[in-house]
Chain A
Amino acid sequence: MKPSLFGKSLAAITLLLSFSAFAKVQTGFVKNVVEDDEGIKVILSKSSSAIKEIETVYLINTDADFRESRDLIMKAKAENSKVQISQGDVKVGP
């Protein structure tokens, strides 16, 4: 992740990060992040306002880009931005 990729609005950002655990693309708004000793579980909802079609994604804290990924997801949660997570990349945006 390169800090220079951050724009004025998070909605306009696309960041590429590396996750190795999940091949399936999962998209949604970050409703919660639960931390345990081995990583974080991200609770995604299809709707920004309602809790709908919940999915979960787990990010392992020994992955190379974990710290940057975690920061990005926490920011998306705070800003109620949509994220897309799949093997090899995370995209944040509309």
Chain B
Amino acid sequence: MKASRHLLVVCSFLTIFATASAQDMNTSVLQQSVTNLLIEAQKQGLVPSKYAKSEAALTGLINGGRVPEALKQAADLITRISYDFASGQVKADQLKRNYMVPTKKITASQTAAISQYVNGQITAADLIQVMQPKNEYYNSLVSLLQRFQQAVDSGQLVTAPAKLNTVKAGAKDTASILYARARLALLGYDNDQTNPAVTSDLTESIIEFQADHNLTADGALGAASWSVLDQDVRAVITKIRLNIDRTRWLPDSLGANHVFVNLAEQQLKLVLNSQVSMNFKTINGRLDRQTPILFDSMSHLQLNPTWTVPQSILFKDKLPLILQNPGKVLDMNMKVIDDVTGTVVDPYSVDWTQVNETFSPYTLVQSPGPHNALGFVKFPLTNPYAIYLHDTDSRHLFANADRLLSSGCVRLEKPFEFAAQILNNVQWTAESLRAASEFLVPTATASTRVKFGRSIPVYLFYLTTSVNANGKIVFSKDSYKIDSEMYGMFAR
């Protein structure tokens, strides 16, 4: 489909110009149309350098008087820029990871707009308007980019003092104070930028900034806070561009009801009826078991889920204990399942000394209960990677600033409240869900399934720069090194 539309655009372009003689062709118009498109697209984060080789090739064709080839090259380039602008200069499937992100389709009206542009019927700005992604994350990041770009272009960025001192109540270093005020304002934390003293407005801004960035929210801007606040503005602009490019993967509408997990920020946002219903912390995959970026859905929850012990944990942690005493299986509230017959077997009847990586026809399944690794509630998704959302029996880990600790699944800080919101607090509330799960534990032999009555889209996404619900910019660490990988691809 994509290729045929592309061909249609090229053919349309060639047809128009075939009516004019090659000599009459004003080749500068060709180059100008490409340049104009890149100028407009750059305002919304597109990185023009990725097309430098193609532009040079176009110039070569024009200079060599090879007008027909130049026409085709120009049409190709305009189409490619337009497609990239709409769906990402880097595509998810180009990255070295298992991602489940559907390729964004170019609509018929967008294809028509590209044809109109190459035919000179609409301006670059018109084409950009048709091609641009419409999702909220894209829009907020583009606004952010423009704010930062304007700050750079204006030449009025406050320069960092030679030494950044701690800014807190009673501090006297006016250079550090004024610089802190300017930087906070640039990120959206309003304060009086002309005031060289630490007053309540500045302290409040510092506290809010620290809380948003998982820093100790004490109102004292020390080394840790400065490392986030005092970033090179040009590096921030690059970071915003990389994030904008990822938001091109998102659909224009994420749905009136959806779940959005920002893996970089380790936060979940539940949107119901187009309103943010709740935000809370998540625990995501550790660096060697990264939670993939994926677009999925969920339609039910499971109270009191069982947990199947992964093979790596069986061999590393459980088998040594079981070899000493097979009764440990029962102590861990687990059952041994014979994988061939599907039946539960007595752990004492298994010759565990024979179990190894090529002969492991037994599976350990942890029964429901307060010590179940999935906690009391699980939210299954549909992907083939066994990635889903769930409660945890280790809730204390949510106190950690860095929470990349799971095998890839997403653990939820407030699973019962989350479930109750999705279930409209009618049939179930957080309290009744909690009570039901605890009540069921002593007798539960199978988990209880509660349907949502609708399918909720779930986006596991990765934004290292985002705008929070209060309009403030939040930077997150590029823990999964996705920014780095994409940056490398732009440089190539």
Q: Which residues of A contact B (CB under 8 A)?
A: 22, 24, 26, 31-32, 34-39, 41, 43, 45, 51, 54-58, 61-64, 66-67, 70-71
Contacts and interface: CB of A to CB of B under 8 A. Distances in A.
Nearest to A57: B358
Contacts of B359: 54-56
B31 to A, nearest CB: 40
Interface string B401-414: 00000011100000
A58 to B, nearest CB: 5
Contact of A36 (B289, B290, B308): B308
Closest 6 CB pairs of A and B: A38-B310, A36-B310, A36-B308, A56-B360, A61-B385, A37-B407
A32 B359 CA distance: 13
Given A43-B339, A51-B340, A54-B340, A35 B308 contact: yes
Contact of B384 (A36, A45, A56, A67): A67
Given A32-B339, A34-B339, A43-B340, A22 B312 contact: no
Contacts of B342: 32
A1 B386 CA distance: 21
B308 A43 contact: no
A26 B308 contact: no
B368 to A, nearest CB: 17
B309 interface: yes
B94 to A, nearest CB: 13
A35 B339 contact: no
Interface residues of B, number: 23
Contacts of B409: 37
A55 B409 CA distance: 28
B408 A37 contact: yes
17 contacts: A31-B339, A31-B340, A32-B339, A32-B342, A34-B363, A35-B386, A36-B309, A38-B289, A38-B310, A38-B311, A39-B310, A43-B340, A54-B359, A61-B384, A61-B386, A61-B408, A62-B385
B431 to A, nearest CB: 29
Contacts of A51: 340
Q: Is the interface of B mostly helix, strand, loop or mixed?
A: loop
A41 B98 CA distance: 19
Nearest to B406: A37
Given A54-B359, A66-B385, A34 B98 contact: no
A89 to B, nearest CB: 17
A70 B361 contact: no
B357 interface: yes
A36 B386 contact: yes
A61 B340 contact: no
Contacts of A66: 98, 384-385
A56 B358 contact: yes
Contacts of A31: 339-340
A58 B407 contact: no
Q: Identify the interface centre among A38, A39, A66: most chain B CB within 10 Å of its CB.
A: A38
Nearest to B309: A36
A64 B360 CA distance: 24
Nearest to A74: B384
B387 to A, nearest CB: 8
B358 to A, nearest CB: 6
Nearest to B361: A54
Contacts of A64: 98
Contact of A38 (B98, B360, B361, B407): B407
A38 B363 contact: no
Contacts of B407: 37-38
A56 B289 contact: no
Given A62-B289, A64-B98, A66-B98, A36 B311 contact: yes
A63 B384 CA distance: 12
Interface string B355-394: 0011111010000000000000000000011100000000
A63 B359 CA distance: 21
Contact of B312 (A32, A38, A57): A38
Contacts of B340: 31-32, 43, 45, 51, 54
Given A37-B407, A62-B289, A67-B98, A22 B311 contact: no
Contacts of B357: 22, 56, 58
Nearest to A41: B311
